[in-house]
A and B are shown apart, each in its own frame.
Chain A
């Protein structure tokens, strides 16, 4: 019996969220008294795979097949389900990112396993198996019992601390046979920006709202992001106006993020906006209206005009960094 963790790779590399998954899975396996098996699909070097061992994996299965040329949720589901059955997995864990969200529901049906989506903490009980998750877009939480013998969980990004151990894992490379009829997605074009910090991965996010007044006023905000190594985001009206690209829109209908630090600049703090950012560990609000709801969600606030305050923050950051 085991806990099986699926880790995705990005051009053969893992990310912090991969290690969060293994840390989470290892702690859960400890609660259940089970073995920790990590499954990676696609070509990844051994030196990279070994990193997973440090976070508590007992065994690593590196599955590949040269005919897999793109992500197809049906195919990936069949591969993961195959290993889950072979290894007698009692819990299967994936990230709650785009890939995990595409696979987990399919896996749930394939394994007849109840799904706990977007969990951030270890189960509050294992018999019955109860997980704690956000509902109503962060306006409430629920304790959800999973009644099936097998469980599928997706872990919210940046919600679980990395736990390094002295452990090292064995690595097994497997050339998996695949059923070609399961592979029906055909990619005809890819548009990818490289080198940019992804909004969902960023530890710090600097975000602007309608209070920025115009897309032309973004320079100091971008400078702050640059100085802090942060990603940039915006509220929905800002992307609707075309002041910023749609990828930056956070909130209920945009991206849901949980950075350590979120700057909300000229953002009123509507419930639909907070739905996407309320899991941030710290929120800093800058707003002219001292009664803006964003201040109820923030730990630090400045009541002031963004146009005047931002250049001063840039200056203060430059001084702090000695630049």
Chain B
């Protein structure tokens, strides 16, 4: 059994984003890059599955579409415990392009389970996982909050409106991961960091695929009006404002 985790390289979630070039490009100065939080949790769960010999997971591979600058993030995934990594050497221009690249790698190496995060914290698209599945003509399952293996079969829990569903799907399958999949992201230990340096990181060149979308300009949020303060001794005033000024209750 082989598992692939697709990872995205994103600015740390506390970053105050800024733009340059007349608001057309992200100002990358001073940005701390991290593994997208959901991808980190997916990787953690993949490693937990591998830890249990009953699951017979032979390898956990990570794949990333990006330029050489993303290698520290990939090495971090190796340090956390992935066995090997593949970097597709191209600027990740849009989700369609990225998914097309990942799909090729998947078809060439045939994994049983492919994990993608439900969204990347930069462009918030919720796109790559589903796109990869359609390119590969694999089944997929979204909003997955748990995955286990029983008798060689994947058992997923997915969130539905007002509850949860337990679903089985034959491999190969793409699972799109959200909260709940693992408690805390696994942290790289010193030994892992040392070992990561010698783990295989294969660089492959991209195939031809045309991006279908392009960001033409960014905007920063408009500042909100100043907060109106209400006397804590008299919250009836708050109810009055919500009712008569904002007119929302």
Interface residues of A (CB under 8 A from B): 10, 70-74, 77, 96-98, 101-110, 112-118, 130, 133-148, 154, 184-194, 196, 198, 200, 203-204, 228, 246-247, 249, 252-254, 260-261, 270-272, 275, 278, 281-282, 284-285, 295-305, 308-309, 312-313, 316-317, 319-320
Contact = CB atoms under 8 A, between A and B. Distances in A.
A252 B215 contact: no
B161 A299 contact: no
Interface of B is mostly: mixed
Given A102-B140, A136-B11, A139-B221, 20 more contacts: A104-B126, A106-B134, A116-B213, A118-B124, A135-B122, A136-B15, A139-B16, A186-B167, A187-B167, A189-B166, A191-B164, A196-B162, A204-B249, A261-B249, A297-B224, A299-B228, A300-B230, A303-B229, A303-B232, A316-B235
Interface residues of B, number: 81
B52 interface: no
Among A137, A200, A246, A281, residue most surrounded by chain B Cβ atoms (within 10 Å): A137
Interface of A is mostly: mixed
12 contacts: A98-B160, A104-B126, A106-B134, A115-B212, A136-B15, A142-B219, A145-B215, A147-B214, A184-B139, A252-B13, A253-B179, A300-B229
B162 A106 contact: no
Contacts of B168: 185-186, 188
Contact of B135 (A109, A117, A260): A109
A317 B239 contact: yes
Given A73-B140, A106-B140, A146-B212, A193 B166 contact: no
A304 B224 CA distance: 22
A301 B123 CA distance: 31
Among A136, A138, A147, A270, residue most surrounded by chain B Cβ atoms (within 10 Å): A136
Interface of B: 11, 13-17, 19, 37-38, 94-96, 99, 118, 121-131, 133-135, 139-143, 155, 159-170, 173, 176, 179-180, 211-221, 224-225, 227-236, 238-239, 241-243, 246, 248-249
B132 to A, nearest CB: 8
A109 B230 contact: no
Nearest to A10: B161
Given A145-B213, A188-B166, A317-B239, A77 B134 contact: yes
